């Protein structure tokens, strides 16, 4: 399989240090320790790679998250207190430049920092919370409830029928782009059930035989993308226009041509000429896998 975006991180997350405040402080004070610099959530770059810097002697442990160790060297990111504004063109360009292993490190840092910025208070009692566990949790100062970084499972899938795959277009997509349909998995359903529900809700398509293909972390802000293929019972579409601007059935040749293009599309809403998501999105991997089958 194609390398999957945001996977392949090389850091050992060193779980025991999350339960060892002294060890955590010692790692932060290690002269070899490295700090990932994020400016408004965009990774600082150095020669096409993630930019790391040293850590100040007066660094406050509670302001840092331990990303993990590589070759014995501790790697940290700093909590900023400000939620992410979204994705910018600069960040997307930076992501295109990163190797997947480095993008994985960035993804973990971005998701955890943004979770802290959005969870300064206890959902249970409303009081202020503070970081603990080496930046991998927050504890309520009033009721003591412990909170841990949230990961939202999202299903992203192709329905297939008679050699064609169902792709959809959201209004916010760049011109000409089509992608796999997707939606948040809800409490009380399996991955397979979420896939079937979303395909029916968004496109009116009933499916059977849902197959898992691959997964990826998606740090905008903190999803787990679960990519699947399902067999559609027929090819009739009832498109939910509040979710999708358009949905089309495309052949393997269509997808191969789109994957061979520049990925941006050209604004045409033609099944044989469309743009695909960027290589770091699992929809890209999913389309590649399907087209190769």
Interface residues with a second copy (CB under 8 A) are 4, 6-7, 9, 13, 15, 19, 83, 104-105, 107-109, 111-112, 115, 118-128, 136, 147-153, 184-193, 197, 201, 212, 214-217, 219, 222, 224, 226, 242
The residue assigned the tokens 């003591």 is 144
Residue 108 DSSP one-character state: H
Alpha-carbon Rg for the chain, nearest whole angstrom, is 21
Q: Contact, 28 vs 55, CB < 8 A?
A: yes
Query: Which residues lie closer than 8 Å to 82 by C-beta, 6 or more apart?
Result: 40, 117
User: Judged by CB, which is closer to a second copy: 90, or 152?
Assistant: 152
Q: How far apart are CA 192 and CA 7, in angstroms?
A: 23
Q: Report, in Å, the least distance between residue 253 CB and a second copy.
A: 29
> CB-wise, 146 or 235, nearer to a second copy?
146
Closest to 180 in 3D by CA, of 288, 292, 283? 283
Which residue in 103, 47, 53, 46 sits closest to 77, CA to CA? 53
Cβ distance to a second copy smaller for residue 130 or 148: 148
DSSP state of 60: -
Q: Which residues of 80-92 are buried (b: 16+ CB within 10 A; e: fewer)?
A: beebbeeeeeebe
- Alpha-helical runs (H) found in the chain: 21-29, 89-97, 100-117, 191-203, 252-260, 282-292
CB of 147 to a second copy, least distance (A): 8
Work out the number of other CB atoms within 10 angstroms of the CB of residue 210.
20
Q: Which CB, 7 or 42, lies closer to a second copy?
A: 7
- The residue (of 103 and 258) whose beta carbon lies closer to a second copy is 103
Judged by beta carbon, residue 16 or residue 163, the one nearer a second copy is 16
Residue closer to a second copy by CB (options 72, 188) is 188
Nearer residue to a second copy within complex by CB, 114 or 254: 114
Q: Which residue has the tokens 């691959």?
A: 214
CB of 256 vs a second copy, minimal distance in Å: 25
Q: Least distance in Å: CB of 2 to a second copy? A: 13
CB of 68 vs a second copy, minimal distance in Å: 10
From CA 43, how far away is CA 94, in angstroms rounded?
7
Shortest separation between residue 187's beta carbon and a second copy, angstroms: 4
- Shortest Å distance, C-beta 220 to a second copy: 12
Distance, CA of 120 to CA of 67 (rounded, Å) = 20
Nearest distance in Å: CB 199, a second copy: 13
| Spacing of C-alpha 155 from chain mean position | 12
């Amino acid at each position: 399989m194609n390398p999957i975006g945001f996977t392949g991180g090389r850091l050992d997350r060193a779980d025991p240090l999350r339960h060892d405040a002294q060890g955590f402080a010692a790692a932060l004070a290690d002269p070899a320790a490295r700090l990932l610099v994020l400016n408004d959530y965009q990774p600082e770059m150095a020669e096409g790679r993630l930019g790391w810097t040293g850590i100040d002697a007066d660094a406050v442990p509670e302001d840092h998250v331990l990303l993990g160790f590589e070759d014995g060297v501790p790697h940290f990111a700093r909590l900023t207190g400000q939620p992410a504004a979204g994705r910018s063109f600069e960040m997307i360009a930076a992501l295109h430049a990163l190797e997947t292993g480095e993008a994985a490190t960035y993804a973990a840092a971005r998701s955890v920092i943004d979770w802290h910025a959005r969870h300064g208070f206890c959902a249970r009692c409303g009081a202020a919370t503070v970081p603990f566990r080496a930046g991998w949790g927050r504890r309520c100062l009033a009721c003591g409830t412990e909170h841990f970084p949230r990961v939202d499972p999202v299903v992203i899938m192709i329905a297939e029928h008679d050699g064609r795959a169902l792709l959809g277009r959201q209004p916010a997509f760049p011109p000409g782009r089509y992608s796999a349909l997707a939606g948040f998995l809800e409490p009380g359903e399996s991955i397979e059930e979420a896939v079937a529900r979303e395909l029916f809700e968004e496109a009116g398509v009933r499916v059977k035989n849902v197959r898992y293909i691959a997964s990826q972390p998606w740090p905008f802000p903190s999803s787990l993308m679960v990519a699947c293929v399902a067999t559609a019972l027929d090819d009739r579409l009832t498109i939910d226009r509040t979710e999708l601007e358009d949905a089309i059935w495309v052949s393997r040749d269509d997808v191969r041509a789109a994957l061979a293009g520049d990925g941006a599309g050209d604004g045409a809403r033609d099944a044989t000429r469309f743009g695909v998501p960027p290589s770091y999105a699992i929809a890209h991997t999913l389309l590649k896998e399907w087209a190769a089958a």
